């Protein structure tokens, strides 16, 4: 299916999707500058704008917010807000509409990605962010769990001890800022290649993007991805798969997939996200 047949609107906003453990307060123990968080600020339409940090995925929200508040202050940002919801009802009652409409950047911190989808799925808050992403110059960022939740499908279970077994990698619908893309983080550090390959094999329309720590992709126009940071991004393309046993979920059945295509990308390289799945109502 040619991309010219896809008439979905082109997003005006920008995504910054981070593989986790990004440097925050200046050169860290590996002498890495806070390039990614600075990049988040540089992408904003107004450098003096407001950033809202969403810590809903975290079990230690105040501590996590303080880490990001300090990092953004050190990078010259003066207006940093904190949004945290403890339940779906809380998110329905308190959608922070005025604050989110005023923000130049919204940043989803890490934790448990299933908290983000179960609390925000279908809410006015998520609809507001999606409408702003489509129609306005907003930057929406996420790291670790906050990055994984930004795509669909979204992995929520299946660690390296079970990823090689069919049916042991669990996926659901993410927040859908990216469609037919699966994001995985800490990708090299936590040996997550096989679980991503299994996700892609379940639906070869999907592109798998595994992002190393202190590494990110900037997504412009909903489809143009640029790599920044100190590590690599691994893209798994299943369009050419000729055989797999992913549908055979018998106990102790090991995954097998033939003819996956893999790209290894690093800083300043770009990747065009395929837009081959036609829109529907």
Per-domain residue ranges of the chain? 12-268
Which 3 state secondary structure label does DSSP give 171?
A: strand
Q: Looking at residue 33, what is its pLDDT?
A: 78
Q: Cβ neighbours of residue 22 under 8 Å, at least 6 residues apart?
A: 34, 36, 37, 143, 213, 214, 216, 229
Categorize the per-residue pLDDT at 41 as very low, low, confident or very high, splitting at 50, 70 and 90. Answer: very high
Q: Which CATH number applies to 12-268: 3.40.50.300, 3.40.50.880, 1.10.8.640, 3.40.50.2000? A: 3.40.50.880
pLDDT of residue 202: 93
DSSP symbols for 176-188: -SEESEEEEESTT
> For residue 251, what pLDDT is reported?
66
Q: Output the pLDDT for position 6.
A: 57
* pLDDT score of 1: 41
User: Looking at 18-27, 110-119, 252-261, 265-274, which range is the least confident one?
Assistant: 18-27
Q: What is the pTM of this model?
A: 0.93
Q: What is the mean pLDDT of residues 174-195?
A: 96
Statement: residue 109 has pLDDT above 60:
yes
Instruction: Report residue 45's pLDDT band, with 50, 70 and 90 as the boundaries.
Output: confident
Q: Express each pLDDT in 135-179 by its tens digit.
A: 999 999 999 999 999 999 999 998 888 888 998 999 999 999 999
pLDDT at 5: 57
Which whole-number Å values give the CA distances from 159 to 105, 165, 190, 191, 192, in the listed order? 31, 11, 9, 9, 8
pLDDT tens-digit map of 198-220: 999 999 999 999 999 999 999 99
């Amino acid at each position: 299916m040619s991309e010219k047949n896809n008439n979905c609107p082109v997003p005006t906003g920008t995504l910054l999707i981070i593989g986790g453990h990004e440097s925050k307060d200046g050169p860290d123990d590996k002498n890495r500058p806070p390039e990614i968080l600075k990049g988040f600020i540089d992408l904003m339409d107004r450098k003096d704008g407001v950033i809202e940090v969403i810590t809903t995925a975290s079990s230690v929200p105040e501590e996590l917010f303080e880490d990001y508040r300090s990092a953004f202050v050190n990078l010259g940002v003066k207006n940093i807000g904190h949004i945290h919801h403890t339940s779906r009802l809380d998110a329905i009652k308190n959608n922070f509409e005025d604050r989110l409409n005023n923000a130049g950047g919204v940043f989803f911190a890490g934790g448990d990605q299933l908290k983000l989808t179960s609390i925000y799925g279908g809410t006015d808050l998520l609809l507001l962010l999606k409408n702003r992403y489509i129609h306005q110059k907003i930057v929406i960022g996420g790291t670790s769990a906050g990055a994984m939740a930004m795509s669909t499908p979204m992995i929520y279970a299946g660690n390296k001890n079970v990823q090689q077994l069919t049916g042991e990698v669990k996926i659901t619908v993410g927040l859908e800022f990216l469609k037919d893309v699966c994001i995985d983080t800490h990708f090299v550090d936590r040996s997550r290649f096989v679980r991503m390959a299994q996700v892609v094999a379940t639906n070869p329309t999907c592109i798998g993007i595994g992002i190393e720590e202190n590494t990110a992709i900037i997504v412009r126009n909903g489809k143009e991805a640029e790599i920044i940071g100190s590590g690599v991004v691994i893209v798994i393309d299943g369009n050419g798969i000729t055989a797999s046993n992913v549908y055979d979920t018998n106990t102790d059945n090991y995954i097998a997939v033939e003819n996956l295509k893999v790209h290894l990308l690093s800083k300043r390289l770009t990747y065009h996200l395929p837009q081959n799945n036609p829109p529907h109502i």
